[in-house]
Amino acid sequence: MMRRLKQWFLTTLILLAATPAVQAEPPNIVFIMADDLGYGELGCYGQQLIHTPEIDRLAQQSLRFTQYYAGATVCAPSRSVLMTGKHTGHTRVRGNGAADKQSLRDEDVTLAELLKQAGYTTGLVGKWGLGEDTPGAQAGMPTRQGFDDVFGFLNQHHAHNYYPTFLYRNETRISLPNEGNFDERGAGKVRVKKQYAHDLFLQESQRFLRENKSKPFFLYAAWTLPHANNEDKPAGVPDHGIYTSKDWTEPNKMHAAMVTYLDTQVGKLLATLDELGLKDNTLVFFTSDNGPHKESANDPNFFHSSGAVRGTKRDLYDGGIRVPLLVRWPGKVKPGVADHIAYHGDIVATLADVVGFKAPQGLDSLSFEPTLRGHTSDQNQHEFLYWEFYEGAGARAVRYGQWKGVRPKWHAPLELYDVVADPKEQRNLAADHPELAQKIEAFMQSSHTSSPDWPIPNPMKNQNPGKAK
């Protein structure tokens, strides 16, 4: 019954959306999501040590956002925000957790479902993290949330491993020739490396483009580089590449090599669009799911991975949630720089305006399509953006214009920063602006809805478990 109601709801949305905004030839959409790539880890965002020539070239052809935010500071909730258009006070998956809690349900409406109803063929290559083939989590599998063509990891622990013994094609496990000590869900250590998963991700992404070149498509390239392999630290890329002779620690060489490997694959994927004659009518997004990690002995300070902002993955200071965003659409999106404040939850409303479908009611999603078109005077602004974090003692944050309110623990006193004048969030101005702090407190309280799967963190739990996800 629930699935039938959901189908009726989606069909009704599309019928209501028969407006002149729908193009005769809607754009193809390629959404590339890196994993744990920091705001400052690309040359186009100021990186000095890691080479990213392909993405830097993409940036020259794109609108580059400087105040764009992830949906969360860890992967699963950030991806849930992207798919549902709801922030972490409302979205289904609000943290990294057990499979049944970290799973979308039948009643959730995803971006993939909306695009599929609008006539798109939908593909996912890489990491899903919002449902898998275990009891209580199957409703969240990507094939049941709007994706026609799936290849990759369902479980995020499985996705730590770059040499897995299996991957999924739709709902079927496909064996790979790698060997190792892995549990039933695919986490563990590799002994024999024969097939690098990310090479397959590029091949499958290219296959999807070639097979669907004659019809509108949405490719969600949720690639896993440069996430650390937390169970098997030295196995992130086949070798250190151009960093082999650097006088750096092995983890730092590995991390740099992973970012550059990602860069090379992005270049090859974009070259495939060129080869197929699809470049001009393909809307390309490039971003990351959260800030840079310091797992497996990687040192984000060495690379200045967060750029000019403070914090890393698992922080709600800007370094944990501010991420790159590049948007390319030749002839439609003028290359340049945008300071519009937006986040992953806005992608649903933005694509609704671009494609012409009607987004569901009750979302935390604001279209930045006017900014893409260069119509900045028509661009509406969020009153505020909101984030929650559920590990350890938890955390909350609000971006309100130039201001940022942060509770570094769920029940800690509010810290207030002017992130325009103080991007490193070092000068706490809460005592100087009590009325503003009170307003931000009210935003925090009104933005949280209770969830049985995500209880408010215990105020006595001050430690962060540090489990890499």
Model pLDDT for residues 35-73, shown as the tens digit of each residue: 999 999 999 999 999 999 999 999 999 999 999 999 999
Last residue of a domain, one of 355, 378, 401: 378
Which of 13-22, 313-322, 338-347 shows the lowest per-residue confidence on average (mean pLDDT)? 13-22
Q: Is the pLDDT of residue 277 over 60?
A: yes
pLDDT at 459: 82
| 356 and 328 within one domain | yes
| 435 and 293 within one domain | no
Beta pairing class for 149-153 and 121-127:
parallel
The pTM of the whole model exceeds 0.85 = yes
| 373 and 397 within one domain | no
Whether 345 is covered by a domain: the verdict is yes
Say which residues have a Cβ less than 8 Å from residue 301's Cβ, sequence separation at least 6.
none
**Is 435:328 a contact under the CB 8 Å cutoff?**
no
Last residue of a domain, one of 378, 403, 436: 378
Beta pairing class for 166-169 and 403-407:
unpaired
**Is 324:66 a contact under the CB 8 Å cutoff?**
no
Q: Is the pLDDT of residue 5 over 60?
A: no
Helix (H) or strand (E) holding 4: helix 2-16
| 394 and 274 within one domain | no
Total number of domains constituting the chain = 2
455: cis peptide before it, omega within 30°? no
Q: pLDDT digits over 398-412, tens only?
A: 999 999 999 999 999
Give the CA dihedral 88, 222, 342, 24, nearest 10 degrees: -120
Which of 20-24, 84-88, 325-329, 350-354 shows the lowest per-residue confidence on average (mean pLDDT)? 20-24
| 300 and 405 within one domain | no
| 439 and 293 within one domain | no
> Which pLDDT band holds residue 22 (cuts at 50, 70, 90)?
very low
| 389 and 264 within one domain | no
pLDDT at 284: 99
Q: Is the pLDDT of residue 115 over 60?
A: yes
Whether 46 is covered by a domain: the verdict is yes
Q: pLDDT digits over 67-94, tens only?
A: 999 999 999 999 999 999 999 999 999 9
Whether 350 is covered by a domain: the verdict is yes
| 390 and 368 within one domain | no
| 366 and 229 within one domain | yes
Whether 30 is covered by a domain: the verdict is yes
| Residue span of the structural domain in which 191 resides | 25-378
Name the DSSP class of 36: S
Say which residues have a Cβ less than 8 Å from residue 98's Cβ, sequence separation at least 6.
none
| 352 and 211 within one domain | yes
Residue 183 has φ and ψ, to the nearest 5°, of -85, 180
Q: Is the pLDDT of residue 207 over 70?
A: yes
pLDDT at 185: 83
Beta pairing class for 415-418 and 403-407:
antiparallel
Residue 176 has φ and ψ, to the nearest 5°, of -120, 160
What tokens does 129 get?
Answer: 């993290």
CA atoms within 13 A on the CB side of 32: 27
| 184 and 97 within one domain | yes
Whether 456 is covered by a domain: the verdict is no
pLDDT at 187: 84
Region 451-465: what's the mean pLDDT? 77
pLDDT at 232: 72
Whether 404 is covered by a domain: the verdict is yes
Last residue of a domain, one of 357, 378, 399: 378
Closest of 82, 73, 74, 91 to residue 32, by C-alpha: 82
For the chain, give the mean pLDDT: 93
Give me the amino acid identity at 29. I
Q: Is the pLDDT of residue 190 over 80?
A: yes
Any idea what the CATH number is for the domain that residue 439 is in?
3.30.1120.10
Beta pairing class for 63-65 and 385-389:
unpaired
Q: pLDDT digits over 153-178, tens only?
A: 999 999 999 999 999 999 999 999 99
- Residue 278's alpha-carbon distances to 63, 124, 217, 284, 360, in angstroms, are 19, 19, 11, 11, 30
Any idea what the CATH number is for the domain that residue 133 is in?
3.40.720.10
Q: Percentage of residues in the chain with pLDDT exceeding 70?
A: 92
Q: Which of 15-19, 97-101, 259-263 has the highest mean pLDDT?
A: 259-263
**Is 77:96 a contact under the CB 8 Å cutoff?**
yes
Q: Percentage of residues in the chain with pLDDT exceeding 90?
A: 88
Region 298-320: what's the mean pLDDT? 97
Note the helical H segments in 330-455. Answer: 347-355, 369-373, 434-447
- CA dist 454 and 47 (Å) reads 36
Q: Is the pLDDT of residue 3 over 70?
A: no
Whether 54 is covered by a domain: the verdict is yes
| 406 and 365 within one domain | no
Q: Is the pLDDT of residue 377 over 70?
A: yes
Whether 455 is covered by a domain: the verdict is no
- CA dist 394 and 385 (Å) reads 17
